[in-house]
Amino acid sequence: MKINPSTLALCAFFSTSLSFHSFAEESDTEVQDMSDPLAVYTQAGFGYTDKGFNIKVGQTYDTGSDITMGMNIIEIKGFAGEATGWSDRDADDSIDSLRYRNFTVDLTNGRGSQIDVSWDFDANQGSASYSFIQALPKMGMFNFYPLAGLGIAAGEELPGTTGGDLDADQLRDRYNMHGTFYVAGMYGKMSITDQLWLNYNPMYMGTVSGSETYKDAYFQGDDAMLLHEFAISYQVTPRANVRYFANWTENVDFADGDHRIEFNYQF
């Protein structure tokens, strides 16, 4: 079974990094550090990708606590792909995927948590996960943020299950609850200047439980897979940045992976 690498990555945090000591300071300022994956702010983003356009909207909300902050983010990905995308893979003009995230951060210990729900319309597959990320003390020009999470995968029958003879992951006549998975990885940030930084974010994902078809072959024909993300980001103003992302896997070369350019603005 071939699963799009960007779709698999939706259950993890794909962003950039921050300094642990900055949480309390940033919570009292109007403009948040947009290089921080745990920074919470109202935002809008627009991306041009090899498979079309992306739109992202994020809104903060009151958590009811003085030491936590919260944010909801909705993303629409990959529309107008046939008309505007540059990938040589098959593409159409309809929406490729939707993603919803609920994100909270504890200002006292540099720890974030996220509920992440996504659906890939091309593959008719989706996932929902819960993850933690922890900021480690800054080391010179480097920041590291280990993360871990668990999730569930669902969608149309996987290849290997025949119509009318569904295995134990059956949820409805058409859709299966395939099983559970884990994700473990780390965000890495290298600060070049105050405005320019690089990221490398490796993530390892694997199946935990579910049908035999799911456990043996869900991740591009295997039970586990290493995913890679690289990003170059430039802060144009305190409220606006431009970012280039590349996503690929151990089975998909860099050149054949997903590429995008994003513009993000903080309100």
The CATH number of whichever domain residue 11 belongs to comes to 2.40.160.40
Q: How many other C-beta atoms lie within 10 A of the C-beta of residue 146?
A: 13
Question: Per residue in 118-172, pLDDT tens?
Answer: 999 988 999 999 999 999 999 999 999 999 999 999 999 887 654 444 444 444 4
Into how many domains does the chain fold? 1
Residue 146 belongs to domain spanning: 5-266
Q: 213: Cβ–Cβ under 8 A, 6 or more apart, which residues?
A: 158, 159, 160, 161, 167, 178
Confidence of residue 81 (pLDDT cuts 50, 70, 90): confident
Question: Per residue in 133-147, pLDDT tens?
Answer: 999 999 999 999 999
Mean pLDDT, residues 224-251 taken together: 97
What is the pTM (predicted TM-score) of this model? 0.82
Is the per-residue pLDDT at 175 higher than 90? no
Residues linked to residue 119 through DSSP beta bridges, in sequence order:
98, 126
